[in-house]
Structure 1
Amino acid sequence: MDLDQLRIFARVAELGSFTQAADQLGIAKGRVSQVVQRLEAQVGARLLQRTTRRVRLTPDGEQFLERGQELIADADQLQAMFQPAASGLRGRLRIDLPNSLARDLVIPRLPEFLAAHPLLELGISTTDRRVDLVQEGFDCVLRVGPLVDAELVARPLGMMKMRNVASPAYLRANGTPKTLADLARHRIVHYAPKLGVQGAGWEYQEEGGAVRVHPMRSAIVVNGTDAYQAACLAGLGLIQAPAHGTQRLVDAGLLVDVMPHLTAAPMPVSLLYPHRRQLAPRVKAVLNWLTQVVEPYLGEPGPATVESRPT
């Protein structure tokens, strides 16, 4: 057996699918099946249990995968030790980023990172949904909000400060709210991961730290961050959004801060990656670089908060 065979087997095991593994690796499904069959013949044990719906590891397969992943990580580190420093990292990486963080913070800084590592190939997903890191083959994800993936390793980066904004046209037409009571005459743009979800409201944090939600009317519900911001710019209502993503619009006079004393609770920002004893050097490098890029825009790490707010 060789490392390429181990990598193919590991991807099948992680995804639970020959087809998905073949798609992500860019090889034919038939080759993936042949590699797994060859490995099983070499070790003299069945490593995967195949059903019509799912591919699962056998007990022998679980032991084989654990040791195989260690060998792959060791090989990656060994290779990196003897690469000329000028050549930088090499290989492929797949990362998922919140749309606004990718647009405003990460992608503008990518040229300098890739210039230092010209042999590295990055696949970047920007989506407002929560991807399955393992099933979809990501090496790491940058996540905003509370963490629910207990099987993953998390690196807390800090807390994302929120602000309340509205368009000048909206405020001219409806007035500027000063208190919670004033919100009865206003509308909010409601963000919900799934359309049809009710419960629009104004979130704010009391002096003691307790988080409250003041019910409000909404004229529109959106499930994407770009639409959320566009609706506010169009004068469709107030929004509560990350400070970093709206700063340039406030500076340009396209949005205006309102009720700064009644802002939503900051949201935790974390980097997540699979729970492995060792990480490939390229993954470690990207994790460290993302930390350096994002941390300066965040406050100190704190408790998790509301899960469904846009980022």
Structure 2
Amino acid sequence: MDYFLAVQAFNRIVETGSFVKAATQMELHPNAVTKLVQALESHLRVKLLNRTTRRVTLTSEGSVYYEQMTRLLDRWLEVEAEIAVTQSAPKGKVRVDMGTTIATLLVIPALPDFHARYPQVQIDIGASDRTADLASENIDCVIRGGILQDSSLIARRLGSLPFVTCATPAYLAAHGVPRHPGELEDGHALVRYFFPGSGRQNTLEFTKGDEHVTVQGRYVIAVNDSNAYLAAGLAGLGVIHTLRFMAQPYIDAGAFVPVLQEWQAEPNPLSVVYMPNRHLSVRVRAFVDWLVEHFAAHPHVLP
């Protein structure tokens, strides 16, 4: 039995919840993965997994074994990576997931710099506004905004993104320029954003001194994509409250006019996230370090 490979197979099955998905990620035949786990259980003389036609769950012994071996396996791979990085340049594929506008406006335009440093690294970018599942989709890392809900993930801070509230000149000419956030509740229309998956709509929150205002407002259109959100605002369908880096080119061109600038909205924290038990290879570590460096120097990203 290849003990190292067997432990890797067991861990991937636990993370993905599937023998087939684990086999796909490891580029092995499902029967090979099954035999590896069977050999591991025979070696340990305990049952690690409960298997049915629909699901895979850990036994009590399997839970303990997974927790302990994950730490050992991660450290093992980390030591190997530290040795390897001194011998060769990073190479191979990195799969990363991020929001559409983060990809198109912040990351992709800067990638020539990354590839100049690491020409043998390929980047596969999943660009969408949905929340990807790192384990089941075999994603190396993701860029996420907001407060992280999953405390089991490891996050490196990239900075924070300030908001701006704006509308087209034609919209403001027709409806007036709001001087107080409360005015958005009556006489104005908002473009609303709802999050893919949950359907939850964004809430506009403003602060000025000790005054805090939450705005729901009336809307004529709601979308679940950041590019569509910008398009709706540019079409004059309402006031938008968006990240400044998205709106700034249109503000500079005169297509958007900022409003309520004396009112502050809490900047959106931004992080690059990966699983604690998913070892960062040399190439992934190089990409994550580059992201941290790149965002720290970006003019639209706050510390």
- Using the size of structure 1 for normalisation, the TM-score is 0.82
Pick one of 299, 304, 311 that aligns with 2:302.
299
Aligned residue for 1:254? 255
- Tell me the secondary structure at the aligned position of residue 185 of structure 1: coil
Instruction: Please say if residues 203 and 214 of structure 2, whose CA atoms lie closer than 8 Å, have aligned partners that are also in contact.
Output: yes
Identity of aligned residues (%): 35
Q: Which runs of no fewer than 5 residues in structure 1 stay unpaired?
A: 301-311
Aligned residue for 1:305? none
Aligned residue for 2:58? 57
- Counterparts in 2 of 1:14 and 1:195: CA distance versus 1, 3 Å: closer
Quick one: distance in 1 between partners of 2:202 and 2:58?
44
Equivalent residue letter for 1:71 = L
Quick one: distance in 1 between partners of 2:118 and 2:74?
21
- Tell me the secondary structure at the aligned position of residue 35 of structure 1: helix
Equivalent residue letter for 2:57 = R
Counting matched residue pairs gives: 298
Aligned residue for 2:22? 21
Stretch deviating more after TM superposition (239-248 or 4-13): 4-13
Equivalent residue letter for 1:187 = A
Q: How does 1:158-237 map to 2 (within 5 A)?
A: 158-180=159-181, 182-183=183-184, 184-193=186-195, 202-208=204-210, 211-237=212-238
Instruction: Please say if residues 93 and 123 of structure 2, whose CA atoms lie closer than 8 Å, have aligned partners that are also in contact.
Output: yes
Quick one: distance in 2 between partners of 1:79 and 1:176?
57
- Using the size of structure 2 for normalisation, the TM-score is 0.84
Structure 1 residue 176: Cα displacement: 2.5
Structure 1 residue 68: Cα displacement: 5.3
Structure 1 residue 22: Cα displacement: 3.0
Structure 1 residue 240: Cα displacement: 0.5
Please list the CA deviations of residues 261-302 of structure 1 after superposition, one character each: whole Å capped at 9, or x if unmatched: 2243211222222224964333332222111122334324xx
Structure 1 residue 180: Cα displacement: 3.4
- Tell me the secondary structure at the aligned position of residue 130 of structure 2: coil
Equivalent residue letter for 2:272 = L
Quick one: distance in 2 between partners of 1:131 and 1:202?
25
Aligned residue for 1:30? 31
Structure 1 residue 191: Cα displacement: 0.8
Aligned residue for 1:155? 156
Q: CA-atom RMSD, angstroms?
A: 2.9
Please list the CA deviations of residues 36-73 of structure 1 after superposition, one character each: whole Å capped at 9, or x if unmatched: 23333444433322123321233443454432553354
Quick one: distance in 1 between partners of 2:178 and 2:73?
61
Quick one: distance in 2 between partners of 1:111 and 1:104?
14
Quick one: distance in 1 between partners of 2:57 and 2:199?
35
Instruction: Please say if residues 3 and 40 of structure 2, whose CA atoms lie closer than 8 Å, have aligned partners that are also in contact.
Output: no
Instruction: Please say if residues 81 and 282 of structure 2, whose CA atoms lie closer than 8 Å, have aligned partners that are also in contact.
Output: no
Q: Which runs of no fewer than 5 residues in structure 2 stay unpaired?
A: none
